[in-house]
Every structure is written in C-alpha cells, then in structure tokens.
Copies of this chain bind each other. A is one copy, B any other.
Amino acid sequence: MSNYDFKAVIHDTFAKQAFLNFIGAKITALEYGLCEMEIPYRDELTQQNKFFHAGIVGTIADNAAGMAGFSTMEEGSSVLSVEYKVNLLAPAKGEVLIARARVIKAGKTLTICNADVFAKTGADEKLCATATVTLMALKNYTK
C-alpha cells in the first residue's frame, strides 16, 4: 500500500498529456494497483466502419495500465511504458470505450499490468481487447 497521495500525482500527470485530452480520455476509477479509463465516442476517433480505431484501443489500454502501475511505485517516481502488446478481440463498436487495468506484478524497477478494453453501448459491455504492458519506474525524475 502506498503512503503518499498517488491519486493527486496521477491526475496531475494525466492532465499534462495533451494527447489524452485531445481524444477525450478521462480516469473514471483509481485505486492502488487499479485504474479505469474511458473515452466517449466521437467520429474523429474511428476507423472505416465507425468503430473506435485500434490506435485508440491501444492508447487507452496502455495508459490505464500505466496509471495502475504508477499507483504502486515509490513517491517521486516517473512511469515509462517499456512495451505493450494488444490483442484485438472484437470490433470496438460502442458509445464509450472503457479500459480496466490492474497490476499483475509490482517490482522495484519493472511493473507488469494487464488491461482489458470494453466497448459499451447502453448497459451492454463487450470485451474488445486485452493488453499486457511492461512499465519502468524512473527515479528522481521529477525535476
């Protein structure tokens, strides 16, 4: 468990990422080792069938995982995605895209997360992607 206010730091880091704002992403839940992120549908985010573009799917998976992993790192750390792998399981067709990420292994240097991505229409959620993300904690990186 963390002994500092990781939520404030994560929301601050999130707010500084112009691209996440550009695509309308928001953090909808955040706990130690867990993060949920959403992106509402907009035409600008789609591929040729008006589904969410795979680039958006990968982005939300990687970033939800990044925030989940960040929450378990030491105060003063910065988080970096080392690699991510996304399996696209079904068309991302819906009104909102939701990523739910959790830490699988929190390590001193590397943290591994899983993120599942769902396309939601009304109350119906459909799993459309699953991702594994490897994160690295960078120390003394704040200045």
Contact = CB atoms under 8 A, between A and B. Distances in A.
Copies in the complex: 4
Interface of A: 13, 16-20, 22-23, 43-48, 53-56, 58-59, 62-63, 80-90, 104-105, 109-110, 112, 114, 127, 130, 132, 134, 136
A19 B45 contact: yes
Given A58-B84, A105-B89, A45 B16 contact: no
Dominant secondary structure at the A interface: mixed
Contacts of A84: 54, 58, 85-86
A85 to B, nearest CB: 4
Given A22-B45, A59-B58, A132-B87, A53 B17 contact: yes
